[in-house]
Amino acid sequence: MYISVLRRISILMISLLLSSFWVNAIARKSMDKVIDEAFKNAAIQYAGLTDQISSTPGLLPHSILPDGTLHRVKPSSWVSGFFPGSLWYIYEYTGNDAVRKDAERFTSYLKSQKNNNMTHDIGFMLYCSYGNKWRLCGKDKETEDILLSGARALASRFNAKVGCTQSWDTGKCGWSFPVIIDNMMNLELLMWAYKESGDISFRDIAVKHADTTLKNHFRKDYSSYHVVSYNPETGDIEIKQTHQGYSNESSWARGQAWGLYGYTMMYRETKNEAYLNLARNIASFIIHHKNMPKDKIPYWDFDAPNIPHAYRDVSAGAIICSALIELSNYVKKDEADEYLAVAETQLRALSSPAYTAKIGTNKNFILKHSVGYLPGNREIDVPLSYADYYYLEAMLRFKNKVLKK
């Protein structure tokens, strides 16, 4: 009797283990398929996008204008690096040499920006384009020179009194020395420059900027302000505000996404536990927010007034997704599983017809439904080049982290 109960229990346990093995296997296989189909789709869409810009050399695609035409930008735009960066990711997945040639061609458009010291966005511009070229094609002198020059241009915007690099060169809104949360993203170029050149000043600037932002940009609930402006003579805070969000005290979704990604990246580069803790707290704010929809693609602002009828911001969803996958590397299993479950929900949603455009539509961008600058009445419910970029990056990260196990 006793033995037969034991036998039944062990049979039950074995069948449970086997069934969870098969459930996992099927789930894994299907995410493989989701990602494979998404990259096939991306390759076709971006071939079409490449054709569209062949007639306007020197310009790069960014979005769709209100009149329905393709929004093209000059290499000096903050978004110029995302299109070549997406081509690098498609090349990374497909290994297609024609895509690599296109990626090289459009990356070379940004060469002219290597000494651009008029914007903090030089990190986005050069690191998404030339940074991916460096990573995928190996070291070459020209790429090294362009990335190091860009890092020097960014470092020249550092003010030791404030402890930050200045984001915008602008007297707009009365700001003397505006620093935006987005600026955390540009520190990756400085950390690359430190590792390649051995010049510790690049690292010191990046760390100081991250420390100052950690101190001044965040609220008690770990949401962040968009803009903190400083007095450049004294380093005192002048004002804390929004520019692209709903209100000064609201939580602009993409701002939260930049903070999460930025501090996760800075933890990777420095192993400073304060950055990891902040990233985990930002993740918790985002994931457990009462206004986070079921599919985990946030509204453009977590405090938008017309939720649940507010616009979604797919770009914020894609950035959060990519950041959570990386953050899962640095935490205990339960927490990692939670981040990866959210990321999987996001990837499945983004890859569905709700957000992925049909081939040949959407001016050949991959994703629909992003919001660039709603208070400025610009880029509302449109595709954005950086939404596509972080989506492709997130899929590669998910594949490398989860599916290769």
Between 141-155 and 200-216, two packed helices, what is the crossing angle to 10 degrees?
Answer: 50
| Catalytic residue numbers, as ranges | 121, 182
In order, the DSSP letters of 192-215 are HHHHHH--HHHHHHHHHHHHHHHH
Residue pointed to by tokens 């803009």:
227
Residue 76 token pair: 């000096």
Residue 182 or residue 188: which is nearer to ligand GLY going by CB?
Answer: 182
The one among 62, 71, 114, 254 contacting ligand GLY by CB under 6 A = 254
Closest approach, Cβ 346 to ligand GLY, in A, equals 18
Residue 254 or residue 296: which is nearer to ligand GLY going by CB?
Answer: 254
Q: What is the DSSP letter of 124?
A: H
Residue 205 near residue 239, CB atoms below 8 Å: no
The one among 182, 303, 313, 388 contacting ligand GLY by CB under 6 A = 182
Residue 223 or residue 244: which is nearer to ligand GLY going by CB?
Answer: 244
Residue 93 or residue 261: which is nearer to ligand GLY going by CB?
Answer: 261
Gyration radius from the chain CA atoms: 22
Q: Is the peptide bond before 293 cis (omega within 30 degrees of 0)?
A: no
Which has the closest alpha carbon to 66: 372, 341, 366? 372
Closest approach, Cβ 374 to ligand GLY, in A, equals 11
The maximal CA–CA distance of the chain, rounded, in angstroms, is: 85
How far apart (Å, rounded) are the C-alpha atoms in residues 60 and 267?
32
Residue 102 or residue 182: which is nearer to ligand GLY going by CB?
Answer: 182
Site for ligand GLY in 363-382 (CB under 6 A): 372
How far apart (Å, rounded) are the C-alpha atoms in residues 190 and 164?
13
Residue 244 or residue 322: which is nearer to ligand GLY going by CB?
Answer: 244
In order, the DSSP letters of 380-400 are EEE-BHHHHHHHHHHHHHHII
DSSP-derived 3-state class of residue 129? helix
Closest approach, Cβ 293 to ligand GLY, in A, equals 20
Conformation bin of residue 116: beta by default, left when phi > 0, alpha when psi is -120 to 50:
beta
The three state secondary structure string of 307-332 is CCCCCECHHHHHHHHHHHHHHHHHCC
Closest approach, Cβ 326 to ligand GLY, in A, equals 19
DSSP-derived 3-state class of residue 232? coil
Closest approach, Cβ 235 to ligand GLY, in A, equals 23
Residue 81 or residue 372: which is nearer to ligand GLY going by CB?
Answer: 372
The reply to whether 244 sits near ligand GLY by the rule CB under 6 A is yes
Q: What is the DSSP letter of 253?
A: H
Closest approach, Cβ 126 to ligand GLY, in A, equals 16
How far apart (Å, rounded) are the C-alpha atoms in residues 246 and 244?
7
Residue 148 or residue 316: which is nearer to ligand GLY going by CB?
Answer: 316
Closest approach, Cβ 123 to ligand GLY, in A, equals 12
How far apart (Å, rounded) are the C-alpha atoms in residues 124 and 147?
11
How far apart (Å, rounded) are the C-alpha atoms in residues 98 and 124?
24
Conformation bin of residue 397: beta by default, left when phi > 0, alpha when psi is -120 to 50:
alpha
Q: Return residues touching ligand GLY (CB under 6 A).
A: 182, 244, 254, 372
